[in-house]
Structure 1
Amino acid sequence: MLVHSFPPIIRANARVLVLGSMPGTASLEKHQYYGHPRNHFWPILYGLLGRTPDAEYEKRIAFAQDRGVALWDVIGSCEREGSLDANIRNAEPNDLAGLHALYPAIECLAFNGNKAYDTFKKHFGGKPIWNDLQLLKLPSSSPIPNNRMRTTADRIEAWRILLPFLNS
């Protein structure tokens, strides 16, 4: 099945662009970034600042934007059955260079998981446009546990590297 990512959520004050691979089925159905109820992204972002996530999606988006966080995906479209990154085929990237040109305040690209990072490196790696940006490969916020990341607390600790880029 052919799936498409969402448009970016970004403001002029964005300092960090969090890049996922492709929204999962639950997120696509809800038309929300990190819309699966067990995804750790919103608890991570809020938890970095000692807060509990707002229930309303619009408030979560405003919280992210107020802190200089933008959201998008490395992949613009792909073929995928289900939600697993392992099932992604024929990935076509989003225009990350074009977005960066429109929002030059971005200082950091934060990759939410291996697939986002690996896809970026495949399509954009080695291009000088990225030389002045911090490229951070972070553990996935997916609800699927792994050997190193089992809880939200584990992920918050790993994502603390973003704190210098967040507006408090």
Structure 2
Amino acid sequence: MGEYTHIIHSFEPVFNKNSRVLILGSLPSVKSREYGFYYGHPRNRFWKVTAALVGKPVPVTIEEKKAFLLDSHIAVWDVIAECDIIGSSDASIKNVRAADISVITYLCPDIAVFTNGGTASSLYDRHILPNSDRPAVRLPSTSPANAAWNTERLTEEWKRLISPYLFQNTENNFTNM
């Protein structure tokens, strides 16, 4: 099964004062850590789903992804600041130190919080919610491990859950999506 490794999250959160939704994963996978940015596994559907959600092309480079998130009013970070983990196995996570999302919520007081998958959701509820007044909405995971959800179904569910927050009070409300 492998040995535990202590991981300290090395990616900065991506957000600015215009961010309307915060999407929290659990912790970057081994592939994402090798790539150097969020959702770096080539089979993870995060970038396809979010691009479809906002009606933009799928970003490719890290710089394009950062610009895409900021231009789309999407903030991204993870629930875990550091932990012990075997490979990318969410089931093996232990000794969690949670991220301090107040860095984002202070600048963006009206931001809506979402978790990408069950592990992020349960970790959020256990480690962040007790010190926060912000419950998080659980999104179905974009991970390739979530084979029960195809990309089309994921996109529709993400649109249903996120659109009311992301597109409120905007000139282009994407009502035809």
TM-score where L is the length of structure 2: 0.84
The equivalent of 1:2 in structure 2 is: 6
Gaps of 5+ in 1: none
Query: Of the candidates 16, 37, 60, which is equivalent to residue 55 of structure 1?
Result: 60
1:3 maps to a residue whose letter is: I
The 2-side partners of 1:128 and 1:47 are apart by 31
The 1-side partners of 2:143 and 2:132 are apart by 31
Alignment of structure 1 residues 12-161 onto 2, 5 Å:
12-106=17-111, 108-127=112-131, 129-130=133-134, 135-147=136-148, 149=149, 151-160=150-159, 161=161
Q: Deviations over 1:8-46 (max 9, x none)?
A: 111110111100000000111111110111101000000
Q: CA deviation at 1:57?
A: 2.2
SS in 1 for 2:114: strand
Q: CA deviation at 1:71?
A: 0.6
2:165 maps to a residue whose letter is: F
Q: CA deviation at 1:105?
A: 4.0
Quick check: which has more Rg, 1 or 2? 2
The 1-side partners of 2:146 and 2:136 are apart by 24
Q: CA deviation at 1:49?
A: 2.9
1:69 maps to a residue whose letter is: I
Q: CA deviation at 1:93?
A: 0.2
Q: CA deviation at 1:129?
A: 2.7
Gaps of 5+ in 2: 173-177
1:52 maps to a residue whose letter is: P
